[in-house]
Structure 1
């Protein structure tokens, strides 16, 4: 069966990164933009009160509100998808977030539309890590039932790493034959090395001659920022002129600020808060090293390839996709473990001997060879062809 005229795609996601920061939303926006070409049409369904600015050829449908209960949002998504599917032809439903994807998937199945789901991680397990108590247990139990229902409706799955393939297979009992590993990517036009690092540092009010280590994360426990701060105490004993930048927002902000004061790191750490889309590439360009101290459930590591596309060497804990990205490039950039001691040792090893680090061209070339959105879209379209070919053969 030929699809020379392209695909008519309906995609369901959480939100858009300009409205709600996060790796899932960055991935969703990036792949939607890459798939929305002169051949493909794409309707993206998100939960939002606002309508984000988007490129031509993408139609955003902002449905519901974050102020509503998740059950209400789920119901509205299903109702809207049913109306959309009846109004216009859709070849494939491309789902990215189980709670908002389950209703549209039910409607797709009623109409014979195949469902391809990208598994961004065990939503329930992430929730468990960040809370406790009976109410939280009840919430996570209900979340797990939504996940299981959504995944039962999928014809094929895309995961971003071997780690998430194994979780999807072992925890959710999805057959390996249904799972395709397609790594994530970086926007290489947006993330690139600085032409004039001094000018970028001046613009961001950063010291010209310091070695700057950057991380940008959601401020939650599993991201390892408390362990990083503890490690940074040791780094500053040997390198008092080095500066750590932590970008992001989340429930850990107050505790991080307290730890910075407790460890007497006020002159060695800056908590940047939310870093805008406009400023994010600039902070990469201003820095010397990027660090990813994740403790658990790192599905791929979009931030890792974005940093490398900017010419930054990345040091990371051996968790999830980061392990897969770096072991094929420079295994020595992986810390030996996830605790503060392992992070401190890894940082000191390269900060004491910067000649061990790959240069900007080597970092960027690795991304260009494997991790561009063009590569990703080609592979995603191939999965679409497979499900549509199976549908045609079954008739």
Structure 2
């Protein structure tokens, strides 16, 4: 196998900026760096250090977007001028634009990972004038960026459709490579009661967990409304909501309004170290997303931990859970559908997939070895095609 010299650009490093995109970026870079000569460039408040990966701090996230974009382009140009690069592998379109422009100047092929419609994500929460302007600018950045890609990697058929229909990328340029999880970090509990005691979770409660950014599109307000019905069915149930975001105060108010203080616990930010423990302590994981759930990283993390997952039929979660067990998909995104689904599943809990079944489903297709092998094939093929093109140009 040829060893490629890869320059990878991401948004941030998960130690400083938690999130699915950053976790994915770190994990795929870890695997690719075992095979290739890889440098990872990110925006970070401090210089990240990670064994086995050379990380370049291009800029800091508190700076204005235009300054960050310029910093990525300037740093990429310096790298490309100083040493050969076989392929540029990008994540997060605003930071990909400058490096991709520099790569095109030097006939370096560009593989782009599409993690979702950034402009739509900015606009889905509010439709005021400021957000409409942000959405418009973001859309222009995305359109300019994606015109520079030679091949695209997406996490789901849902994202492939968006990339083709909304951005005009030809289908033959798009490869579906499902995401993955760290199966060593996320695994079933050896002693659930001990883990619950460590987290101060009562041993006798029926525990449902969700971990989300606290914004409206994640469906947490609908989940709380549904939870009123659930506690009537099962007064011993406890909902744990992990995460932080602008919706925190409204969630607290709704918990008080609905009289759910004894049945809902807001966890705040859940660290990487604590997250596996919360999965292991739970009976069920719920994903009430209302829009733009491109893959469902938390879904496979929970399943790898031996915990069944129930979710709204949005995006990647539908693709994961339909072949797993379609009973674990809500009928739609409404609070009524979420309530009906949770009550039904509670009544059917004796027939749920076992912890072993949940984990084996992930092991069969959602490990980082699966993902990295496919991404590696795409990178090698794209770099090889560029080399063939350059040879033909020289011969002609």
Give the TM-score range, shorter chain.
over 0.9
Q: Match of 2:20?
A: 23
Instruction: Report whether the alignment pairs 1:277 with 2:272.
Output: yes
Contact 1:220/1:251 (8 A) holds in 2 = yes
Does residue 43 of structure 1 match 2:42? Answer: no
Match of 2:247 among 236, 244, 252: 252
1:207-246 matched pairs, under 5 angstroms: 207-246=202-241
CA contact (8 A) 1:130 1:220 kept: yes
CA shift for structure 1 position 104:
0.5
Distance 1:176 1:392 in 2: 23
1:9 is aligned to 2:9: no
* 1:52 CA drift (Å): 2.5
Give the distance between the partners of 1:263 and 1:134, measured in 2 at CA.
33
| Matched residue, 2:50 | 54
- Which residue number corresponds to residue 134 of structure 2? 139
Residue of structure 2 equivalent to 1:300: 295
2:393 is matched with none
The 2-side partners of 1:365 and 1:308 are apart by 9
Runs (4+) off by over 4 Å = none
- Tell me the equivalent position of 2:186: 191
Query: Which structure 2 residues correspond to residues 344-359 of structure 1 after superposition, within 5 A?
Result: 344-359=339-354
Q: Classify the secondary structure of the residue corresponding to 2:324.
A: coil
For residue 330 of structure 1, give the secondary structure of its aligned residue in structure 2.
Answer: helix
SS of the residue corresponding to residue 142 of structure 2 reads helix
The one-character-per-residue Cα deviations of 1:108-133 (angstroms, maximum 9, x if unpaired) are 11111110001000000111112222
Unaligned 5+ segments in structure 2 are 391-396
Query: What are the equivalent positions in structure 2 for 1:171-182 lying under 5 Å apart?
Result: 171-182=166-177
After superposition, what is the alpha-carbon deviation per residue over 1:84-120, rounded to whole angstroms, capped at 9, x for unaligned?
1112221111111000010000111111111000100
TM norm structure 1: 0.97
- CA RMSD after TM alignment: 0.9
SS of 2:241's partner is strand
Give distance in 2, aligned partners of 1:127 and 1:307: 27
Counterparts of 1:87 and 1:49 in 2: how far apart (Å)? Answer: 25
Q: State the distance in 1 between where 2:268 and 2:377 align.
A: 39
For residues 287-316 of structure 1, the C-alpha deviation after alignment (integer angstroms, 9 at most, x for no partner) is: 110000000000000000000000000000
CA distance in 2, matches of 1:237, 1:15: 43
| Partners of 1:63 and 1:76 within 8 A in 2 | yes
The answer for unaligned runs of 5 or more in structure 1 is none
Q: What corresponds to 2:365 in structure 1?
A: 370
Q: How many angstroms does 1:234 deviate by? A: 0.4
Q: 2:99 aligns to what SS in structure 1?
A: helix
